[in-house]
Amino acid sequence: MESNKSEYSERIEALELQELTAQNGGASLEVYKELLLLYLMEFDLINAKFLWKRIPLTVKLDNELTTIWKIGQCLWRREFPAVYEIIKSHEWSEAFKEPLLKLYSILQNRMTCLIENAYSLVKVEDLSQALGISEEQQLLDFINNRKWVLHSDTKLVKVDCQRDESNTTTANTQDKLDSSTLTQSLHRLTDYVSFLEN
């Protein structure tokens, strides 16, 4: 049986292997930062939390690593506006700027799918928070690009759920990806527990 591999699964496996085979009881700071961020990009919050718990205390003193974990905590609590704010406001190192912007985009896309599938009307301010778009013109452009309708008198946006084949396929693929990620996580956890017991 072949499982659906996610975009980052090979890199995650390589980093997990580096962590397990590292000398002196721990991997490098860069390995931990990248692995934690990839877990967040996959919305694999359980593995992100377990990784954070096993990172050595001396490594946890790194400001950038701690800030990445703050993003994970906000995702866990579904505080999406805080996630956007942390990503925008922190001074990221060059190696992590692009991946964090990608996380920002991934979260926006997930929230857009959620809004399209769950709502027919949404308040402008709620939409702004859900998508992390604070500038009015940017939000208007987003609304127009999605072919949604803004009722300026009520400050409500009529969400046009464009359920064409490509959107349905994307949603189905995301559902399969989520269940695949869960299955992979369970297999990894089982292997890890078996390893610890033996």
pLDDT tens by residue, 1-46: 345 567 888 999 999 999 888 877 678 999 999 999 999 999 999 9
Predicted TM-score of the model (pTM): 0.75
Distance (Å, rounded) from C-alpha 9 to C-alpha 57?
A: 26
Distance (Å, rounded) from C-alpha 114 to C-alpha 100?
A: 21
Instruction: List all residues 6 or more positions away from 66 whose beta carbon is below 8 Å from its beta carbon.
Output: 60
Distance (Å, rounded) from C-alpha 156 to C-alpha 125?
A: 9
Q: Which of 28, 183, 60, 19 is nearest to 72 (CA)?
A: 60
Distance (Å, rounded) from C-alpha 127 to C-alpha 111?
A: 9
pLDDT per position as a tens digit, 83-103: 999 999 999 999 999 999 999
Least confident segment among 48-52, 104-108, 193-197: 193-197
Q: Give yes or no for a contact between 48 and 40, defined as CB atoms under 8 angstroms apart.
A: yes
pLDDT at position 160: 81
For the chain, percent of residues with pLDDT exceeding 70: 83
Q: What is the DSSP letter of 92?
A: -
Kindly state the tokens that stand for 83. 């996630």
Contacts for 117-121 with beta carbons within 8 Å, 24 or more apart? 117/161, 117/171, 119/159, 120/158, 120/159, 120/161, 121/156, 121/157, 121/158, 121/159
